[in-house]
């Protein structure tokens, strides 16, 4: 969870009246909403609304998000070329699920139009990786600016609207986590502070920087997703009517280029790239870095059979030293139990290199991932044989 933060107007103690005259219906207060995680067991925040946040005028079924899983007859590597993907839908409706299990789903989205209505994921934390685009995430916590290569972490149940600046085609990788996205506990000292030596510090995490108080007594719809089910709620007033909040549950950004890589004289294993985790998977950042300095170092990863883990790489930017044939926005899935490693020629080609400019996002899952029909439609069928080239 991110560090404690407060913004706007809050009263001196929890659960006491926060005076607001005359206030909704003349009641003289702002209305407290406690936002918790894991029931009441973990991080929480407290927000203060102009009106009670519970005033629902209408609840309507809004269909489902189809998940067309393809049963794979064989265990093999996959390479999905998502670069040519056409723009479609909006930042919510345009999401294309590609790889899923019960803990995590990876989706791609290249929206063609602005977000049509407010959205809330009731069953997942979302990480919106901004491959391209710049703009703001608007929530009851205020305005959160984002830029290319930001991870925008959105906790469960945060109603939001993503607004992109005009002029650039936005491009997103979305990671839906059934559990809470947290910083790896080994990066934290017993006092909860990010340790010296971790690949980032509190200064690299950015929360909303200004409140967004929409005082509007007007029907406002919110599309709520819980699993595959969609529900449309019509609220009697705009939910972004929060004058202040504090706590440790709020959306925040971390930019992949702020990741401080850890390097060695010889190759270091993938956990050094770890950025976030949630039950069932880890998320890592392969950031531009110095390569290994031992005179005989092999500067690309060794072959390995990821035992008890499925390994997904999303290639973002730069030259990928150990892979041939992948391009920007390629996704590789190296499932458990079969070896993969550097492509032929890449060991020799990397000998004289002193650094790598690659930027990639890795998701390693505990449970096997399944592919959707859309993923199979984008795949390079020859990839399993690409080590023979």
| Residues 54-113, interacting with Fe ion (CB under 5 A) | none
Shortest distance (Å) from residue 364 CB to Fe ion: 9
CB of 71 to Fe ion, least distance (A): 25
Q: Which is nearer to Fe ion, 87 or 262 (CB)?
A: 262
Start-to-end CA distance of the chain, whole Å, equals: 45
Nearest distance from C-beta of residue 384 to Fe ion, angstroms: 15
Report cis status (omega within 30 of 0) of the bond before 22: yes
CB atoms within 10 A of CB 59: 11
Enumerate residues 282-321 that contact Fe ion by CB under 5 A: 311
Alpha helix ranges (H) inside 281-367: 346-349
Own/partner pairs, 53-60, CB within 8 angstroms, 24+ separation: 53/239, 55/235, 55/236, 55/237, 56/233, 56/234, 56/235, 56/236, 57/219, 57/234, 57/235, 57/236, 58/232, 58/233, 58/234, 59/231, 59/232, 59/233, 59/234, 60/231, 60/232, 60/234
Cβ(256)–Cβ(132) under 8 Å? no
Q: Closest separation between CB of residue 389 and Fe ion, Å?
A: 18
The number of angstroms, rounded, from the C-alpha of 319 to the middle of its chain's C-alpha atoms is: 23
CB of 277 to Fe ion, least distance (A): 17
Which C-beta is closer to Fe ion: that of 63 or that of 269?
269
Asked if 113 and 220 touch (Cβ cutoff 8 Å), the reply is no
- Return the residue matching tokens 């950031």: 287
- Nearest-CB residue to Fe ion? 311
Q: How many CB atoms lie within 10 A of CB 320?
A: 25
Least distance to Fe ion from the beta carbon of 323, Å?
10
Nearer to Fe ion, 28 or 339 (CB): 339
Q: Is 39 left (phi over 0), alpha (psi -120 to 50) or beta?
A: left
Give the Cα separation of 178 and 20 in Å (integer).
37
- CB-nearer residue toward Fe ion: 10 or 312: 312
Q: Total number of residues binding Fe ion (CB under 5 A)?
A: 1
Q: Which is nearer to Fe ion, 258 or 311 (CB)?
A: 311
Q: Least CB distance from residue 318 to Fe ion, whole Å?
A: 18
Cβ nearer to Fe ion, comparing 87 with 338: 338
- Residues lying near Fe ion in the complex (CB under 5 A): 311
């Amino acid at each position: 969870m991110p560090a404690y933060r407060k913004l706007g107007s809050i009263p001196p103690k929890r659960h006491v009246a926060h005076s607001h005259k005359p206030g909704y219906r003349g009641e003289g207060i702002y209305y407290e909403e406690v936002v918790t995680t894991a029931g009441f067991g973990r991080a929480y925040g407290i927000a203060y609304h102009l009106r009670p946040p519970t005033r629902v005028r209408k609840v309507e079924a809004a269909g489902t998000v189809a998940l067309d899983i393809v049963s794979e007859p064989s265990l093999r590597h996959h390479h999905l070329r998502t670069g040519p993907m056409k723009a479609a839908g909006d930042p919510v409706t345009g999401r294309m699920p590609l790889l899923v299990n019960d803990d995590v789903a990876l989706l791609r989205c290249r929206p063609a139009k602005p977000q049509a209505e407010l959205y809330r994921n009731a069953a997942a934390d979302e990480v919106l990786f901004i491959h391209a685009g710049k703009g703001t995430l608007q929530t009851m916590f205020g305005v959160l600016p984002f830029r290319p290569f930001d991870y925008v972490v959105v906790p469960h149940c945060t109603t939001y609207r993503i607004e992109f600046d005009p002029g650039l085609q936005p491009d997103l990788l979305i990671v839906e986590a059934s559990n809470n996205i947290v910083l790896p506990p080994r990066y934290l000292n017993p006092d909860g502070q990010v340790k010296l030596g971790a690949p980032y510090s509190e200064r690299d995490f950015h929360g909303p920087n200004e409140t967004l108080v929409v005082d509007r007594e007007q029907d406002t719809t919110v599309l709520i997703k819980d699993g595959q089910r969609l529900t449309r709620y019509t609220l009697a007033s705009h939910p972004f009517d929060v004058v202040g909040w504090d706590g440790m549950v709020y959306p925040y950004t971390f930019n992949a280029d702020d990741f401080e890589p850890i390097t060695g004289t010889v190759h270091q294993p993938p956990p050094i790239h770890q950025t976030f985790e949630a039950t069932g998977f880890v998320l890592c950042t392969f950031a531009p870095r110095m390569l290994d300095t031992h005179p005989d170092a092999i500067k690309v990863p060794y072959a390995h059979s990821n035992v008890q883990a499925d390994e997904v790489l999303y290639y973002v930017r730069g030259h990928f030293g150990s892979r041939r044939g992948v391009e920007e926005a390629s996704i590789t899935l190296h499932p458990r139990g079969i070896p993969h490693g550097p492509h032929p020629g890449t060991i020799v080609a990397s000998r004289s290199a002193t650094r790598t400019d690659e930027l990639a996002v890795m998701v390693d899952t505990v449970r096997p991932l399944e592919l959707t029909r859309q993923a199979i439609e984008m795949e390079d069928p020859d990839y399993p044989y690409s080590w023979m080239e």
